[in-house]
Structure 1
Amino acid sequence: MTAILFIIGLNLCLGLIYCRYYLRSLSLNIEKPLQFISILFGFAAAGCSLIVGSLLDHYLLSDSIVYKAFFLSSLVEESFKLVFIIFLFRNNRIDYNLSDGIVYAVFLGLTFGIIENILYFQELEFWSLIFRTVTSLPFHLMTSGILGAYTVMYLNSNKQNYPFVYLWKGLLFTYLLHGFYNYSALALHERMIYIPVILILAFVTLEYFVTKSKVIPPKSILDAINLKFDDYHLRSIFKKQNAWLRMGQGLVKRKEISLFLKISKEKLFYIGILFSITTFFFIIFLAYPLTIYILFPSIQITEYECIFLDYPFFIMVSLLLAGSINPKFFQDRILKVPSVNAVRLENDIFYENSVVFHFSGKFFYTPLNAPELLRGNLSVSFWIYGKEFSKRKGKVVWFNSSEISSTDAGAMVQLEEIPLREILFWYYGRFLQNLKNFFRTFRFVRKRKSRKGD
C-alpha cells in the first residue's frame, strides 16, 4: 500500500511541476472548467487505448518487440490522444491560439500518463514503476502538447489548403517518437541509453512550439486582419526571405540576434546541483557498483542508469534549454535561403510579373506593385527551377492596403487547383538548392580557415 501511494504521489508531483512550467512559459490564466474537462478527456483517451490495446493483444498475438513498440502501444495511444484532443478543442470553445492548444493538451497527456503508470502497478516491480514514472509521464505530457499544437494549426488554417496535413505530421512525428521510446524500453540494456535522447527531442520540439506561440498573433488579431494561421505563416516567410534578399544586396544591415537568451544565475544554480548529484551517482556506478544494491535493494543496473544518470541528464538539458530560446530569433532571423521563382498573374485588364518564394498547398504570397488591380479570376503561370507551369486559375484572396507603397506590398493568391507533381517538383528543386547552398557554405568556411592559416 505504501508503494502505490508513493508512486501516485510521485506521478502527481512530477505532473504538477511540468504543468506549472508550461503555464509559466506561456503566461496563461487557464479556465478551471476547461482544465477539468481536459483531465476527463485524458481519462477517456487512456481507457479507450487500454481497451483497444488489450483486444489487439488478445487477437493478434506476437512476441515481436517491433510489433509491440510500434503498433500495439504507440499507434493506438497517439491516435486516441489525437482524436480526443480534436474532440476537446472543437466542442469546448477553445480560442485556437497556439498557447491554449499546448496547455490543454498537456493536461490531457498528464492524466493519460498517470493513469497508464498506475495501471502498471500490478505488473512491474517498484523500481520499474519509478523508471516509468520519471520517463513515460513527461513523454506523454510532451507528445500531447505537440499534438495540441498541430491540432490548433489544423483548426485555424484555410479549409481549401489541405489543413489535414498538420494532423498527419503531428501524428506521424509523435507515433515514431513513441515507437522508438517503447522499443528502447522493451530492449532494456541494449537500447535504454536512447531514452534520454528521445525525451530531449520531444522537449525541444514542444519548446519550439512554445517559442513560436510567442511570435504568432492570437486568433482574434488574425481574424481582425482576415488571415488564417497558414496565411500568416506564408506571409511571414515572404517577409523574412524578402529581407534576406535585401540584406544580400546590401540594402539593409543585418541585425545580430542571438538564438539563446542569457541564462539566469538561478537556473545555473539548479543545473549545478543536478550535475553534482548525477556525478555522485556516476562515481558510485563506476567505482563502487556493489554499493548500488545496498542503497537500492532489488534494483537492476539498467534501472539505476536510467533513474539516477539518464533522467537527471534529461532534466539538466531541459533546464538549460527551457525559456532560453529567443523568440525574436524566429521572428527576425533568416533561417533558410529563399527559393526565387518567377510568376505571372493576369486578368482581362492588367498583368504583372513577380516572384514567389514559397508555396503552401494551393496558396502563395507574392510581391506586387498594384495588387488592387488584380481583381476577379486570374491566369497564373509559374517558372519553377527553369520549368514552366502555365495558365493555372486563381484569385487574390487577401492584400494589405496599408502596404501598397512599401517594399513588402503583395497579395495572397489562391489557386483553384495545383497538381501534386508540381508541388513535389518544387520541393525537389528546393532540396537541390539547399544542398548546393550547404556545400557552398562549407567551401566558403574552409577557404576562410585556410586564409587565416596562411
Structure 2
Amino acid sequence: MDFISLLALALAPGVAIGIYIYLKDKHEREPLLLLFISFLYGALSVVVTWMISMPVNLLILTKEEDVVHQFVNAFFKVALIEEFSKFIFVRFILFYNKNFNEPFDGIVYAVMVGMGFATLENIAYVFQYGLVTGILRVFTAVPAHATFAVMMGFFLGKAKFTHRQRIGLSVGALLAATFFHGLYDYFWFIAYIPGIGICAIVSLIIGFILSRKAIRLHQQASPFIDQHLEGNEQQRLEP
C-alpha cells in the first residue's frame, strides 16, 4: 500500500470523529481554528507522554505474562500517563478560553485533543504494522480514545460551571478517562488468556453507551438551547 493511502487510513478515523463531535455541538459551535489548535495540542501530548513514560519504564519493570504486572502496566504506565498528558492541555489551557462557555464544550475540546493524540499514535502504528492494523484501529483504538475523551470532557464541562466542586470534578475527569482507558488496555494486554479479549470489546461498548449519554446530557444543559429554538422557530415562521 502506498504512502498516501496509509496516511489517509491513519488520519481518517480521528478526523471523522472530530467532525462528528463538532456537528453534535448544535447550539454554539466552537471556532474551527481553535479546534484545529486543540487537535495539535493532542499531537503534542504524545510528546509529553513519551517524556513521562521513558523514566517510568526504566524505574517500573513489568512482566508480559503476569496479570498483576499487566494491571500496573495498563492503568498506571499507559492509561494514567496518556490521559494526564491530554488532561493538562484541556484543563489548564482550553478550560480558560473564552469560547469554553457551555458544558458541552468540555466534550468538544477533550475529544479534539484526544483525536490529535490518537491520530499521531495511529500514524505510527499504521506505518509500522501496515494495512490490517490500520483497519482494526479504525474500529477499536481510535474510537476508544474518543470515549475516554468524552468521559474526561463531561466532567470538565461540569467543573467549568460548578465552582465549589471544580477541583473534585477535574480530578474525576482524569480518573474516569484513566479508568476506562486502563480497563480497555488491560484486557488486551492479557489477551493471551483465551477469550479475555472479548472483555475489551465489552468495555468499549459500555464506553460508547456512556459517551452517548454524556453527550446528550450536556447538549440538554446548554445555556444557548433557548436561543437555538427561538432561531429555528423564527426561520419556520418566515415566509
TM-score normalised per structure 2 = 0.80
Deviations 1:392-430 (A, max 9, x none): xxxxxxxxxxxxxxxxxxxxxxxxxxxxxxxxxxxxxxx
Q: 1:24, CA displacement in angstroms? A: 2.5
Q: Structure 1 residues 83 and 197 mapped into 2: Cα distance closer, same or farther (>3 Å)?
A: same
1:177 paired residue number: 180
Q: Does 1:76 align with 2:75?
A: no
Cα distance in 2 between the residues matched to 1:47 and 1:180: 23
Cα distance in 2 between the residues matched to 1:149 and 1:172: 12
Q: Is the 8 A contact 1:110 1:140 kept in 2?
A: yes
Deviations 1:342-392 (A, max 9, x none): xxxxxxxxxxxxxxxxxxxxxxxxxxxxxxxxxxxxxxxxxxxxxxxxxxx
Letter in 1 for 2:11: L
Cα distance in 1 between the residues matched to 2:132 and 2:214: 33
Q: Is the 8 A contact 1:34 1:92 kept in 2?
A: no
Tell which deviates more after alignment, 174-183 or 130-139: 130-139
Aligned counterpart for 2:217 among listed residues 212, 220, 223:
212
2:198 paired residue number: 193
Q: 1:126, CA displacement in angstroms? A: 4.6
Q: 1:19, CA displacement in angstroms? A: 2.5
1:143 paired residue number: 148
Cα distance in 2 between the residues matched to 1:112 and 1:15: 9
Higher relative contact order, chain-length normalized (CA < 8 Å, sep 6+): 2
**DSSP 3-state at the match of 2:205:** helix
Q: 1:45, CA displacement in angstroms? A: 1.2
1:327-406 → structure 2 map (5 Å cutoff): none
1:154 paired residue number: 159
Q: 1:109, CA displacement in angstroms? A: 0.8
Q: Does 1:22 align with 2:21?
A: yes
Cα distance in 2 between the residues matched to 1:124 and 1:68: 22
Q: 1:123, CA displacement in angstroms? A: 5.5
Q: Is the 8 A contact 2:102 2:157 kept in 1?
A: yes
Q: Is the 8 A contact 1:96 1:219 kept in 2?
A: no
Cα distance in 1 between the residues matched to 2:17 and 2:162: 29
Cα distance in 2 between the residues matched to 1:122 and 1:216: 42
1:9-408 → structure 2 map (5 Å cutoff): 9-27=8-26, 28-63=28-63, 64-121=69-126, 124=129, 126-158=131-163, 161-188=164-191, 189-218=194-223
Q: 1:86, CA displacement in angstroms? A: 0.8
| More strand, by proportion | 1
Percent identity for Structure 1 against Structure 2 = 24
Cα distance in 1 between the residues matched to 2:50 and 2:6: 20
Q: 1:87, CA displacement in angstroms? A: 2.1
Q: Is the 8 A contact 1:45 1:112 kept in 2?
A: yes
Letter in 1 for 2:21: Y
Q: Is the 8 A contact 1:75 1:175 kept in 2?
A: yes
Q: 1:140, CA displacement in angstroms? A: 1.1
2:234 paired residue number: none
Letter in 2 for 1:118: I
Deviations 1:316-357 (A, max 9, x none): xxxxxxxxxxxxxxxxxxxxxxxxxxxxxxxxxxxxxxxxxx
Cα distance in 2 between the residues matched to 1:155 and 1:56: 32
Cα distance in 2 between the residues matched to 1:43 and 1:116: 8
Q: Structure 1 residues 132 and 57 mapped into 2: Cα distance closer, same or farther (>3 Å)?
A: farther
Cα distance in 1 between the residues matched to 2:153 and 2:120: 19
Q: Is the 8 A contact 1:35 1:104 kept in 2?
A: yes
Deviations 1:14-73 (A, max 9, x none): 223322322233325330221122012111211101221122112322223222211110
Q: 1:220, CA displacement in angstroms? A: 11
| More helix, by proportion | 2
Q: Is the 8 A contact 2:104 2:157 kept in 1?
A: no
**DSSP 3-state at the match of 2:93:** helix
Q: Choose 1 or 2 for highest CA Rg.
A: 1
Q: CA RMSD in A?
A: 2.5
**DSSP 3-state at the match of 2:99:** coil
1:258 paired residue number: none
Q: Is the 8 A contact 1:38 1:104 kept in 2?
A: yes
Q: 1:74, CA displacement in angstroms? A: 0.4
Letter in 1 for 2:31: E
1:228 paired residue number: none
